[in-house]
Structure 1
Amino acid sequence: MLFVSEVMKTVPDNYKSLLQEMVYETLTKLKISFERVNTDEAISMEDCIEINQKLDMKMVKTLLLCNRKKTEFYLFITTANKPFKSKDFSNALGISRVSLAPAEQMEKILGVKIGAATVFGVLMDKKNLVQVVFDKDVLLEEWYGCSDGTTTGYMKVKTKEIVHNFLPYTNHIPTVIEMENSEK
């Protein structure tokens, strides 16, 4: 059973990474409220079930994708229950096939390790190398559940705050696509 702390509405007492510190400083600066929990290391979507229950929301699935040459990057945010299909993603954007970006690229560009990919990683993307892409279904949810840039800190924020306040602040205007909900 995964340890999940009680819900908190304050910033952590100390930070585990530069990105985590930047996340809370930015949310405070933009006056975006959040609820958060500390956990044992959670990497898979299955690990997030107990976090979802504690925070009363649904965690998003966040993937860093790239083209074959590793020159174009996409931070794809979808619902936890949808399988990722590269062909469908590429067709929706009208781009050539993509795959998961290597772990070292994710650390270099977003400042996170595998399991901690988060929309907040764009705070590290000062060169705007990453195109943020939302699955339309994520935007239908009131709450946005994600990592705070670590694999032991998770939070919920109003989805509209992420889209209308946070992303414009980072100069990352998202693209919205529609992905199929079930395997065919």
Structure 2
Amino acid sequence: MFFVSDVMNTAPTAFQSPLQEKAYESLDKLLIPFERVETDEAISMEDCVEINRKLEMEMVKTLFLCNSKKSAFYLFITNGEKSFKSKDFSSALGISRVSFAPVELMESILGVKIGAATVFSLLMDTDKQVQVVVDQDVVTKEWYGCSDGTTTGYLKLKTKDIIDNFLPHAGYIPRIIKS
């Protein structure tokens, strides 16, 4: 059985990574309330079913994408149940086709491993190489569920707090698309 802790509303007492620590520092600084759970390692959207149930929301899907030259990077945030179609994404942005960025670029630019990509990863993008693209369907939801930068910590926040407070704090203006 997949382990999901009781719901908490305080930061962990010890951090697993610099990104996780920066995420909670930002939430504290911006006075953004949250609920969180600790879990067994969750890598796929299927692993998130119990997390969604416990936090009473739906986890977003956060994809790290790049062009074929690996010179343009995108953090695409969409609904967990939506399948990703490179052609539709590229068409919505008016760019050439994209694919999933290699693991080593994900680790070096975002500071996370597979399964832990999150909007908070932007805190690690010190060179501002990544463009943030958000599915319109995510923006319309009240709750935003995501990783805290690990594959064992998950947050429930107000979507409005992510779009209106966190992203500007991190130095990003999201591009909203219909996908």
TM-score with structure 2 setting the length:
0.99
1:113 correspondence with 2:102: no
| Equivalent position of 1:182 in the other structure | none
Which residue pairs with 2:128 in the alignment? 128
Q: Please state how far the C-alpha of 1:23 moved relative to its aligned partner.
A: 0.3
CA distance in 2, matches of 1:80, 1:12: 25
1:29 shift after superposition: 0.5
Shift of 1:168: 0.2
The equivalent of 1:98 in structure 2 is: 98
| RMSD, matched Cα | 0.4
Which amino acid is 1:90 matched to?
S
**1:51 aligns to what?**
51
Q: Distance in 1 between matches of 2:141 and 2:103?
A: 29
Could you tell me how far 1:142 is from its partner in structure 2?
Answer: 0.3
Residue 168 of structure 2: SS of its match in structure 1? helix
Q: Secondary structure at the match of 1:47?
A: helix
Measured after TM superposition, the shift of residue 81 of structure 1 is 1.0
CA distance in 2, matches of 1:83, 1:30: 32
SS where residue 28 of structure 1 aligns? Answer: helix
What is the Cα deviation at residue 71 of structure 1?
0.5
Percent sequence identity over matched residues? 68
Note if 1:137 corresponds to 2:137. yes
Name the amino acid aligned to 2:2.
L
Q: Deviation digits for residues 107-156 of structure 1, max 9, x if unmatched?
A: 10110000000000000111110000000000111000000000000011
Distance 2:111 2:156 in 1: 20
Tell me the SS of whatever aligns to 1:65. strand
CA distance in 2, matches of 1:111, 1:157: 21
CA distance in 1, matches of 2:72, 2:156: 29
Q: How many residues align?
A: 179
Match of 2:20 in 1: 20
Q: What is the Cα deviation at residue 91 of structure 1?
A: 0.1
Does residue 73 in structure 1 map to residue 73 in structure 2?
yes
TM-score (norm 1): 0.97
Distance of 2:169 and 2:10 partners within structure 1: 21
